[in-house]
């Protein structure tokens, strides 16, 4: 039907995206990791032409943070890991232990599938090769995979809306906390976002680092045919939330969104590195 092809996703959804927060239960029921991974983390076309500019931006910024700038420490906690492991490829050589976390069972299971080398696990080999090329030796990608597997020691449940996001577990404060596209998808409004950032920030030891990847100017994103809510955030809101959570922003960089408008209305993907103030 011609009209159908010409209407935006928002319109086709009957405008349901505005304010339609995707609650935790919906994630548990409707979030399909395989569809998500195929849609957002396929690295290139069959002919090898590289097309995933969003992913290469994230990988370059993680490389700058951990390999070039030398952010390191004992433990790194990743909050809202989703079903992905790309976020660990540069940090796995800089921390003794990585703890991956997510709210949904199916995302944690997808990570465990890759850790166990399950043949049904998502193929991250192209992404491993890209990061090894950034580090100067593309041929080291198999060893890189083994290093990631040996460094991810735990895969835990998290809920950023809880004061202790890892409750009922009490985990020692970490040298570094990373979180990619989590708070913007998990928080229904800015008040909740500010509180969630304080909750996540409480997991960082004084002097430790917080690394965030945020979708700016986004109200939804698609996984397969299912729309998911995203909190509409501007750079200034994120910067203020990080500062109010007790961190100094060391550097940040935004990149124009390269997702298809069918997948999301995201304007900018925003990478930020901050350091927790030491109370004197």
Ligand X SMILES: Cc1nn(C[C@](C)(O)C(=O)N2CCN(c3cccc4cnccc34)CC2)cc1-c1ccccc1
176 binds ligand X (CB under 6 A): no
Is 77 a binding residue for ligand X by CB under 6 A? The answer is no
The alpha-helical segments, DSSP class H, found in 22-104 are 24-30, 33-41, 53-62
Q: How far is CA 113 from CA 15, 40, 80, 84, in A?
A: 37, 19, 17, 11
Query: Do the annotations mark residue 238 as ligand-binding?
Result: no
Q: How far apart are CA 26 and CA 205, in angstroms?
A: 33
Taking contact as CB under 6 A, which single stretch among the options 60-68, 111-119, 158-166, 167-175 is the one that binds ligand X?
158-166
Report which secondary-structure segment, H or E, holds 117.
Answer: none
Q: How far is the CB of 255 from ligand X (least distance, A)?
A: 13
**Cα separation, 227 vs 262, whole angstroms:** 10
Give the C-alpha separation, 20 to 22, whole Å: 6
Question: Of 71, 158, 197, 233, which lies in the binding site for ligand X, with binding defined by CB under 6 A?
Answer: 158
Is 160 annotated as ligand-binding? yes
107 annotated ligand binder: yes
Q: Under a CB-based contact definition with an 8 Å cutoff, are residues 132 and 140 in contact?
A: yes
Query: For the chain, what is the radius of gyration of the CA atoms?
Result: 18
152 is a contact residue toward ligand X (CB under 6 A): no
Nearest distance, CB of residue 27 and ligand X, angstroms: 5
* Shortest Å distance, C-beta 278 to ligand X: 27
Q: Which is nearer to ligand X, 102 or 141 (CB)?
A: 102
Show contacts with ligand X in window 202-261 (CB under 6 A).
215, 218, 221, 230, 259
Give CA angle at 43 (4, 230), nearest 5°: 50
Whole-angstrom distance, CA of residue 244 vs CA of residue 90: 28
Determine if 78 is a binding residue for ligand X (CB under 6 A): no
Show the binding pattern over residues 100-139: x = contacts ligand X (CB under 6 A), - = does not.
Answer: --xxx--x--------------------------------
State yes or no: 80 annotated in a binding site.
Answer: yes
Q: Which is nearer to ligand X, 75 or 264 (CB)?
A: 264
Task: Select 60 or 94, whichever has its Cβ closest to ligand X.
Answer: 60
User: Interface residues for ligand X in 2-61 (CB under 6 A)?
Assistant: 24, 27, 36, 40
The reply, when asked if residue 102 is annotated as ligand binding, is: yes
Sheet holding 174-180, edge to edge: 152-157, 95-102, 73-78, 174-180, 204-216, 268-276, 247-256
Does 202 carry a binding-site annotation? Answer: no
3-class DSSP state of 214: strand
Candidates 221, 208, 231, 227; CA nearest to 259 is 221
Q: Is 44 annotated as a binding residue?
A: no
Q: Residue with the closest Cβ to ligand X?
A: 82
Query: What 3 state SS string does 4-44 have?
Result: HHHCCHHHHCCCCCCCCCCCHHHHHHHCCHHHHHHHHHCCE
Q: Which residues are annotated as a binding site?
A: 36, 41, 80-81, 86, 102, 107, 159-160
Give the residue ranges of the annotated binding site for S-adenosyl-L-methionine: 36, 41, 80-81, 86, 102, 107, 159-160
Binding stretches for ligand X (CB under 6 A)? 24, 27, 36, 40, 80, 82, 102-104, 107, 158-161, 181-182, 184-186, 215, 218, 221, 230, 259, 264, 266
């Amino acid at each position: 039907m011609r009209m159908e092809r010409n209407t935006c996703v928002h319109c086709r959804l009957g405008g349901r995206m505005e304010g339609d927060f995707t609650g935790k239960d919906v994630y548990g029921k409707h979030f399909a990791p395989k569809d998500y991974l195929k849609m957002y983390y396929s690295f290139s076309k069959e002919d090898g032409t590289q097309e995933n500019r969003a992913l290469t931006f994230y990988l370059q910024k993680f490389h700058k943070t951990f390999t070039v700038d030398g952010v390191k420490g004992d433990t790194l906690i990743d909050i809202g890991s989703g079903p992905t492991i790309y976020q660990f490829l540069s940090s796995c050589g800089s921390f003794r232990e990585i703890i991956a976390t997510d709210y949904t069972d199916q995302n944690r299971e997808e990570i465990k599938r890759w850790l166990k080398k399950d043949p049904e696990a998502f193929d991250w080999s192209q992404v491993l090769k890209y990061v090894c090329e950034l580090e100067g030796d593309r041929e080291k990608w198999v060893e890189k995979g083994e290093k990631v597997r040996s460094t991810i020691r735990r895969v835990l449940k998290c809920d950023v809306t809880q004061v202790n996001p890892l409750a009922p577990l009490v985990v020692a404060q970490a040298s570094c906390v990373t979180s990619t596209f989590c708070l913007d998808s998990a928080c229904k409004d800015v008040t909740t976002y500010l509180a969630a950032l304080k909750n996540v920030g409480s997991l960082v030891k004084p002097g430790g680092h917080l690394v965030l990847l945020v979708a700016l100017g986004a109200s939804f994103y698609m996984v397969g045919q299912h729309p998911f809510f995203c909190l509409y955030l501007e750079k200034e809101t994120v910067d203020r939330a990080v500062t109010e959570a007790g961190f100094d922003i060391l550097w940040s960089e935004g990149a124009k969104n390269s997702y298809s408008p069918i997948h999301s209305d995201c304007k900018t993907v925003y990478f930020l590195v901050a350091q927790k103030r030491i109370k004197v």
